[in-house]
Amino acid sequence: MSPAAAADGLFPDSVPQRIAVLGAGSWGTTFAKVLADAGRDVVLWARRESVAESIRDRRENEQYLPGVLLPAGVEADTDFDRALDGADAVALAVPSQSLRENMGVFRDSLPPDVPLISLAKGVEIGTGLRMSEVIARVGHLDPARIVVLSGPNLAVEIAAGRPTATALACTDHDRAVAVQHACATPYFRPFTITDVVGAEIAGTGKNVIALACGISDGLGLGLNTTASLITRGLHEVTRLGEALGAVPATFAGLSGLGDLVATCSSPLSRNRTLGRRLAEGLGLDAALAAGGGQVAEGVVSCRSVRDLAHRHRVDMPITEAVYRVCYQHLPPTAMIDFMMDQPHSPE
C-alpha cells in the first residue's frame, strides 16, 4: 500500500500523527524534518535552550544542521515531558553510548504502547547489547514496540531533500508498516524488514569499516584498497550478524550494503573523515576534537564490536586493525600491513 493510500484513510488509524523526537543533533533534526514533510506534527526535544531557541526563532538548528530551513511542523522544546505529551510515536536520537542514561530519565514519561523508533547505531560497551536491547531493558518495554531505522542515512543529504531509501526493522511487522507510512516522503522511501538483529549489527559495523576506509583514503591507497575493505568488511560484519541470529540477506540490503557504501564513500561521513585525520597523523583525541563535537560512532563501536566478536569467536581482522589504531597506537600505515598479513583462506 502506498503512502498516499494511507493519507487517504485506506490504512488503519495506527499511523502515528504526533511524534516526539528526543535528541536534536544533526540526524535527530533531519528525521524531525522528514516527519514534518510527511505531514506529521513533530516536537523536537533539545537538551540545550540555545538549540531550541534557534529552531523556534530562526527555523534552523544552527549548531548541528546549519543552512537547513525547518518546516513549521517542527516545534522545539527543552522539557521532555512537554515534548512527549500527546505523542503517539517517539524517536530516540541520542548517541548510542548515552542511550542507557537517557532511557533511565525518559522511561517514566514515555507514552504507553506507542512505537519507539531507534535512530542510534551501536553496541553498548561492556554489555554487548544492541540499542534496541538497551531500550527494552532499561525502559522495561516490549521489544516488539521498537522500530529500528537503518540505511544510507547521511543527514545533510536527506535534509537537502536528496532521494534515499532506508529500512525499518521491527519484529512486529504491522508496527513497522505504521511507522513506514508516518515517515514516507517524495525523497525518503522506507522499506520494512523483521530482522532487527541484522539491521543493528549492520548499522554498527559499517561505522568501523568506514574508519578503515578513511584511513586508507588518507594514506592515498586508491580505490582497489577501498573496494577490498568494503567487500571484506561486509563479509566480517555479516559473519558476526549470523552468529547472533541475523538473516544473511539483510546484509545485502539497505541497512547492510547500502549503508556501508554510503558511509565508506562520502566525505560527509564523520567516521570516514575521522579515519582520514588519523591517517594524516593526528592522535585520536585531536582527531575527535577536530570534528567539532560531532560523534563518530565507529571509535566506540570498534571496541564493542571487537568484544562481541571475541565473545562469539568470530574473526574480524578489519575491526581488530581499527581497534589497534584507535586504542593501541598502531600506526595507520601498519594497519594495512596487519590486514594483508592475515592467514590465507577461501573467500
Provide the grid cell at 237: 560484519
Are the beta carbons of 222 and 196 closer than 8 angstroms? no
> Of 175, 179, 185, which Cα lies nearest the Cα of 143?
175
DSSP 152: S
Residues marked active site are found at 206
Q: From CA 6, how far away is CA 10, in angstroms rounded?
A: 5
CA distances from 283 to 17, 119, 288, 337 (A): 46, 29, 9, 20
Q: From CA 241, how far away is CA 235, in angstroms rounded?
A: 10
Looking only at the bridges linking them, the beta strands covering 18-22 and 41-45 are: parallel
Which segments within 194-344 are labelled E, that is strand? none
